[in-house]
């Protein structure tokens, strides 16, 4: 049984005080963390304060990025050591805005994924759609080439500690209607890719989220799809009422 995961991506919105106030406003109204995982990815300056404000509420605080290094001479980067010390469990990696605006490529994302897994920070790997035909064990399969590249070197054991987010470019920040059928199709194909590369047993356990124009009106339909284990929400997660409407569905 895969535990549903509702994650908010706040991008570069909200300062530290606004982020902490938000946590205080929602933390006693969250669903049972045994049944649903809820997380927020603020900008890095708010990570520590939000983690402290979240206390024992079960709310997960997520980094929006991290360096591929534990610590060291990497000016301007966010260290895995810093994240670990602050009790941050997750790092979102390879978001489409990082790729588009900061030229992050598959190789860079792959290095971060490997480092995060080794340091015990669970990556939420964002992938947009890039399906290609590939020969695997003598058979032709459709797979997500981008996903395969960023998972390069991730072992059977390590893949179990990875979350994947399917964020088609047509839906992220686009103001378009999210399409539950297409969300399911993308997540299903990703699960197939994992099954092809790893095993069906592993694919069955991995959580795959959908991201792109999710809001209070469509979240239930999207999360009702069998291969969609959760959502990554941008704009609609910034307002307390809208956020609570979405998480309290579950």
- Which one is catalytic: 95, 97, 104, 184? 95
Q: How far is the CB of 148 from ligand PEP (least distance, A)?
A: 21
9 binds ligand PEP (CB under 6 A): yes
3-state SS, residue 240: helix
Q: Is 9 annotated as a binding residue?
A: yes
Q: How far is the CB of 235 from ligand PEP (least distance, A)?
A: 4
Q: For residues 9 and 117, what is the distance between their CA atoms, to the nearest angstrom?
A: 21
Per CB under 6 A, contacts with ligand PEP among 171-210 are 172-173
Beta bridge partners of 37: 5
Q: How far is the CB of 103 from ligand PEP (least distance, A)?
A: 18
| Residue whose CB is less far from ligand PEP, 123 or 212 | 212
Name the residue with the smallest CB distance to ligand PEP: 234
- Among 113, 209, 214, 228, contact with ligand PEP (rule: CB under 6 A): 214
- Taking alpha carbons only, the member of 41, 49, 55, 50 closest to residue 12 is 41
212 binds ligand PEP (CB under 6 A): yes
Beta bridge partners of 61: 40
164 binds ligand PEP (CB under 6 A): no
Are 26 and 42 within 8 A, CB to CB?
no
Q: Is 58 annotated as a binding residue?
A: no
Question: Two tokens at 172?
Answer: 């992220």
Kindly determine how many residues on this chain lie close enough to bind ligand PEP according to the rule CB under 6 A: 12
218 binds ligand PEP (CB under 6 A): no
Q: Choose the stretch contacting ligand PEP; rule: CB under 6 A; options: 31-39, 117-125, 198-206, 212-220.
A: 212-220
Q: How far is the CB of 240 from ligand PEP (least distance, A)?
A: 16
Q: Is 44 annotated as a binding residue?
A: no
Q: How far is the CB of 168 from ligand PEP (least distance, A)?
A: 10
Are 39 and 7 within 8 A, CB to CB?
yes
CA-CA distances (angstroms) from residue 114 to 48, 110, 158? 23, 6, 9
- Which one is catalytic: 37, 97, 104, 167? 167
Element (H, E) at 135: strand 131-136
Of the CA atoms within 13 Å of residue 42, those in its CB half-sphere come to 25
3-state SS, residue 154: coil
235 binds ligand PEP (CB under 6 A): yes
Burial class (CB in 10 A: 0-12, 13-18, 19+), 72: exposed
13 binds ligand PEP (CB under 6 A): no
Q: For residues 47 and 51, what is the distance between their CA atoms, to the nearest angstrom?
A: 6
230 binds ligand PEP (CB under 6 A): no
Query: Catalytic residue positions?
Result: 95, 167
Residues that bind ligand PEP (CB under 6 A): 9, 167, 172-173, 211-214, 232-235
């Amino acid at each position: 049984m895969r535990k549903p995961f509702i994650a908010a991506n706040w991008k570069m919105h909200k300062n530290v005080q606004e982020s902490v106030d938000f946590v205080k406003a929602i933390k006693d109204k969250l669903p049972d963390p045994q049944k649903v995982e809820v997380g927020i990815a603020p900008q890095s300056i708010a990570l520590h304060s939000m983690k402290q404000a979240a206390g024992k509420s079960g709310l997960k605080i997520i980094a929006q990025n991290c360096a591929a290094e534990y610590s060291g001479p990497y000016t301007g980067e966010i260290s895995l050591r810093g994240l670990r010390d602050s009790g941050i469990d997750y790092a979102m990696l390879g978001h489409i805005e990082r790729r588009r605006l900061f030229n992050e490529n598959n190789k860079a994302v792959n290095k971060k994924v490997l480092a995060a897994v080794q340091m015990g920070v669970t990556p939420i790997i964002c992938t947009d759609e890039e399906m290609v035909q590939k020969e695997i064990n003598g058979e032709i399969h459709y797979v997500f080439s981008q996903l395969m590249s960023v998972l390069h070197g991730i072992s059977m054991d390590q893949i179990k500690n990875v979350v994947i987010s399917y964020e088609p470019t047509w839906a992220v920040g686009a103001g378009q209607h999210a399409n539950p059928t297409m969300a399911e199709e993308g997540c299903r194909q990703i699960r197939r890719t994992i099954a092809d590369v790893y095993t069906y047993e592993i694919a069955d356990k991995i959580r795959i989220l959908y991201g792109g124009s999710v809001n209070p009106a469509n979240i239930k339909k999207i999360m009702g799809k069998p291969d969609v284990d959760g959502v990554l929400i941008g704009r609609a997660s910034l307002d307390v009422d809208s956020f609570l409407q979405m998480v309290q569905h579950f």
